[in-house]
Amino acid sequence: MHDMSLVEAIAETVPYAKPITPDHHRSGFSAKLSTAKSENSIFFNDYQPLSVIEPWMQLLASYYPTHVRLLNIGTSYEGRKIPAMRLGVHPTNNERPLGPRKTIVISGGLHAREWISTSTVNYVAFSLITSYGKSATINSLLEQFDWVFIPTLNPDGYVFTWETDRLWRKNRQPTNLRFCNGLDLDRSFGFHWDGEMTKGNPCSESFAGENPFEAVEAKAFSNWAKNETQGNNTEFIALLDLHSYSQQVLYPYSFSCENDPPSLENLEELALGLAKAMRLSHGGQVYKATSACEGNVAIVNGKKNKTILPRLEAGGGSLLDWFYNELSVKYAFQIKLRDTGNYGFLLPKENIVPTGKEVLEAIQYLGRFLTGSVGLEENHTSAPQKTNAAQESPATDLAKTEAKNAGQSSANANDEEDSQQQLFELRRRRR
């Protein structure tokens, strides 16, 4: 790293590293652990290019070897690594045999121009890494689960947005049209792949290629995930695939609204909980929960005003559907981050930390849900049992319990009412 500004930026993100100047080289690192927080790190004051993100990840892994290690998901078309970090602490217990490690995947950057998704993955990872040993909640999350953070599944496209075209969406793989490169990674997976929709039109932003898994990065990710389950003692239990924009929590299926996923009730329950957790975070925004097949149908601003958005993302061959169906991951979600269209993909950097805080709250809620602290208490390995729509939902019970225990004000009563209305609307659509 010859650029001193890069050295300084990375050094400032490490809680126990002193700022480095031309006269203060590597010997300036201190062994004293400070209490630096993510929002105070200059790394999150702006969006960062891949050339900064990768050294930053390497530095975190070297300073926190007890619970962080680097991964390489695969290689992109242009030969770049797809970097990732695995977080987790494995308590030893010789009297209890080790089973498959329950693992949660947090991914971003599937579409190159969605910079906020990449920054948010990094923010949440950094928050968990630096909070271990200081927070009982974070300690529990890292001891009970492994967390795989993938800042960008599309490194070639991400670099291209920094160097050439800020609004580039696809990867950089050549097609049969010399002047229209790139495949849409979120249309390249093999489950209900519908490449016929864009076949012969490589210039389309949703071009799926000529065959499933033709996109190099999608194939690399699928190979890595299968190898983890088959040969690395891993059990994937949840996926949060971060995107922008529209502020929605989406669950399977994306390919069609005619088919309900087997664990629909559970997906609805958790989606509403994630949306509520983000909304109740400090300065949090309103997120709506719905099926991914409906895409960006509507964003509700208050009880009377609605902002209607076009249906942009729904379709077959999505990472969401493939992970849920092919790997039997019970809790798979696509979260569309800020905002609702004012800035869209060009979200100002001032939103990096607030968005990260929202998703960090969602991550902690997810952990509590999976351990049975909130939401449905059930055997997560068993097939879900659908409930009658007329019965009161677990989301309602949860909201009532939270309001009673915390002595919530009328404002939180409104939150409970909104959650009930959302769940009622989801079930009304199914009927």
**Quick one: pLDDT at residue 354?**
96
Question: 29 pLDDT exceeds 50?
Answer: no
Question: 309 pLDDT exceeds 50?
Answer: no
* pLDDT tier, 198 (very low <50, low <70, confident <90, very high otherwise): confident
What pLDDT is attached to residue 9?
58
State how far the Cα of 393 lies from the Cα of 92, in Å rounded to an integer: 38
- More confident call, 415 vs 25: 415
Among residues 24, 37, 251, 215, which one has the least CA distance to residue 123?
37
Could you please state the CATH topology (level 3) that the domain comprising 52-91+98-386 is classified under: Aminopeptidase (3.40.630)
Q: In whole angstroms, what is the distance from residue 353 CA to residue 361 CA?
A: 12
Q: pLDDT at position 199, please?
A: 84
Which residues, 6 or more positions from 129, have their beta carbon under 8 angstroms from its beta carbon? 60, 64, 67, 68, 85, 87
User: At 288, is the secondary structure helix, strand, or coil?
Assistant: strand
Decide: helix, strand or coil at residue 21: strand
For residue 16, cis peptide bond before it (omega within 30 degrees of 0): no
Model pLDDT for residues 65-83, shown as the tens digit of each residue: 999 999 999 999 999 999 9
Among 37-41, 70-74, 399-403, 413-417, the range scoring the smallest mean pLDDT is 399-403
Q: 158 is written with which tokens?
A: 């991400």
Q: Report how far Cα 249 is from the mean position of its chain's Cα atoms.
A: 10
Confidence at 99, pLDDT banded by 50, 70, 90: confident
pLDDT score for 336: 97
How does residue 7 score in pLDDT terms, banded at 50, 70 and 90? low
0.75 surpassed by pTM? yes
User: Does position 398 have pLDDT exceeding 60, yes or no?
Assistant: no
- Segment (H or E) for 332: strand 331-337
Q: Between these two residues, 212 and 29, which has the higher pLDDT value?
A: 212
Which residues make Cβ contacts (< 8 Å) with residue 175, sequence separation at least 6? Answer: 181, 182, 183, 202, 207, 209
Q: What is the pLDDT of residues 412-424, one digit of tens each?
A: 445 555 666 666 6
**Average pLDDT, integer, range 360-384:** 73
Lowest average pLDDT, out of 149-153, 281-285, 365-369, goes to 281-285
Give residue 17's pLDDT band: very low, low, confident or very high (50, 70, 90): very low
**Domain(s) of CATH 3.40.630.10: residues in the chain:** 52-91+98-386
> At residue 254, does pLDDT exceed 50?
yes
Mean pLDDT over each residue of the chain, to the nearest integer? 81
More confident residue, 185 or 408: 185
Compute the average pLDDT of residues 400-422.
50
d(CA 292, CA 249): 8
List all residues 6 or more positions away from 313 whose beta carbon is below 8 Å from its beta carbon: 186, 243, 254, 292, 295, 296, 334, 336
DSSP state for residue 11 in the 8-state scheme: H
Q: Which amino acid is at 59?
A: L
pLDDT of the residue at 92:
61
d(CA 250, CA 239): 11
The reported pLDDT for the residue numbered 141 is 95
- pLDDT at res. 408: 42
102-144 confidence digits (pLDDT tens): 999 999 999 999 999 999 999 999 999 999 999 999 999 999 9
pLDDT at 431 (0 to 100) = 56
Residue bearing the bigger pLDDT, 333 or 195:
333
